[in-house]
Amino acid sequence: MSRHINSTRLVRTYNASTVLRTLYEHGHCSRSQLTELTGMSPATITRIISELMQQGVVLEGSHGKSTGGRRPIYLHIDHTKLYVASVKLLRDDCIVALLDLKGQILAKEQLQPESLSPEVLLGTVATSLRTMFASLAIKQEHIIGVGVAASGICHPVDGIVIRSLNLGWKDVPVSDMLGEDLGLPVMLENDANACALAELWLGNARETTNSMYIKTESGAGVGIISNQTLLTGSRFVTGEIGHVPLIPGAKLCRCGQRGCLEPYVYFKAVQERYHDATGQHLTHSGFIELARGGNEFARYAVQEAASALALACAHWGIILDIEVITIGGVWGNFKHEIVEYCQEYYDAILEQSVIPSSVTILGSSFDDVADLLGAAGLVVSHWFTPASVPFER
């Protein structure tokens, strides 16, 4: 390949990206099918396919059945040539991964950075990814980009973490810093938004128009999909519900207010309360086991989280006319105690208020990898989205 896939102008042209998106969505197509599906002329399809095959991005596969003439040859994207790197950035949970275009995680590593400073943490990310690429013998030109899901308020267009209390960052140009180090395009998004996109593309929200992902465990926030489009707002604070007072007579939050959702779903706070009470460290699996075994502390923590999340689901879900709500993090594992409780609470409000609506509330489809899948999806979507609309086809 004479040019890097991620920097070539070919795949960013409207016609080429349309062909690639069509092949990606359908799995394989003949040239005549591509002509029909894209509306392009046969000559244009022939030219684009020839160029994509020269780049090694598209391959010819099996033959189809003849309809009177030559047997058509099916074309498909070479998934062994294209990969996406994905990064999850949270104070207590930093992970890098490599995925194929189907969303399969090929390699994953939990990072233990010496510091959360942008220079140190992003340097650690870059070093780990380079090592991962080398260990899998993957050439850099076969990686179409890096997706980053970060805790905090993010400017996805400029690739800047505007503010992250979780990481202690302010105005950090993540895309520029990481992109310059790796020599790859970098897409940035808030972690809750990335999870919402993962559910939209691959999970609970695939068949819906309006959905919401409630990010818990590492903090509190929501990613909102409206008309199958991520809502961000002009200042990128849509979904920042963690520190909006909501619960009457509530615990004191670390932000200094009472009534916030975060103290009830931030798992580290639960771990600290358990340690103060017992002197023992509490893991995720240990907490789930204690709660299901009837431990008083764990069951009370689950009940508190259920009540808080039920309020959040009802307030935000009804306002936004949401069809599917996904509860992420450790709390989404409690199907009866939390997920079904939130569903019943929501349904009761709708019935009492005579609001002609309905919702389905579920636990996450992806456990702890939703951020990684969503971040990777940002890159795939960006890569396949046409950069401009042609004047003629």
How far, CA to CA in Å, does 251 sit from each of 107, 182, 202, 263? Answer: 40, 43, 36, 7
Closest to 215 in 3D by CA, of 231, 237, 238, 239:
239
Domain membership of residue 390 (yes or no) is no
Please report where in the chains the tokens 């070919």 appear, as a residue.
10
Give the pLDDT score at 180: 96
Report which of residues 85 and 7 the model is more confident about: 85
In which band, very low, low, confident or very high, does the pLDDT at 390 lie, cut at 50, 70 and 90?
Answer: very low
Give the pLDDT score at 359: 96
Considering the domain architecture, whether residues 335 and 263 belong to the same structural domain is answered as yes
* R_g (Cα) of the chain, nearest Å: 23
In which band, very low, low, confident or very high, does the pLDDT at 343 lie, cut at 50, 70 and 90?
Answer: very high
Pair of tokens at residue 66? 């003849």
Domain membership of residue 392 (yes or no) is no
Span 147-173, mean pLDDT?
94
Span 52-71, mean pLDDT?
81
Burial group, residue 115, by CB count within 10 angstroms (0-12, 13-18, 19+): exposed
Residues contacting 234, CB < 8 A, separation 6+ = none
Domain membership of residue 113 (yes or no) is yes
Provide the pairing of β-strand 324-327 with 360-363.
parallel
Considering the domain architecture, whether residues 356 and 228 belong to the same structural domain is answered as yes
Give the pLDDT score at 1: 34
Considering the domain architecture, whether residues 62 and 98 belong to the same structural domain is answered as no
pLDDT digits (tens, 9 = 90+) for 280-303: 999 989 999 999 999 999 999 999
Domain membership of residue 22 (yes or no) is yes
pLDDT(12) > 60: no
Pair of tokens at residue 61? 């596969």
Give the pLDDT score at 56: 83
The number of residues making up the chain comes to 393
Domain membership of residue 93 (yes or no) is yes
Share of the chain above pLDDT 90, in %: 63
CATH number at residue 29: 1.10.10.10
Report which of residues 248 and 361 the model is more confident about: 361
Considering the domain architecture, whether residues 47 and 131 belong to the same structural domain is answered as no
Share of the chain above pLDDT 70, in %: 94
pLDDT digits (tens, 9 = 90+) for 103-137: 889 999 999 999 999 999 999 999 999 999 999 99
Considering the domain architecture, whether residues 223 and 303 belong to the same structural domain is answered as yes
Mean of per-residue pLDDT scores for the chain: 89
Considering the domain architecture, whether residues 119 and 208 belong to the same structural domain is answered as no
Report which of residues 212 and 391 the model is more confident about: 212
Span 181-202, mean pLDDT?
92
Q: Are 260 and 242 in contact (CB under 8 A)?
A: yes
CATH number at residue 313: 3.30.420.40
Give the pLDDT score at 166: 85
Give the pLDDT score at 393: 37
Considering the domain architecture, whether residues 221 and 254 belong to the same structural domain is answered as yes
Q: How many domains does the chain fold into?
A: 3
Domain membership of residue 41 (yes or no) is yes
Domain membership of residue 387 (yes or no) is no
Give the pLDDT score at 225: 94
pLDDT(73) > 60: yes
Give the pLDDT score at 332: 93
Domain that holds residue 306: 204-364
pLDDT digits (tens, 9 = 90+) for 195-219: 998 898 888 998 899 999 999 888 8
Give the pLDDT score at 319: 92
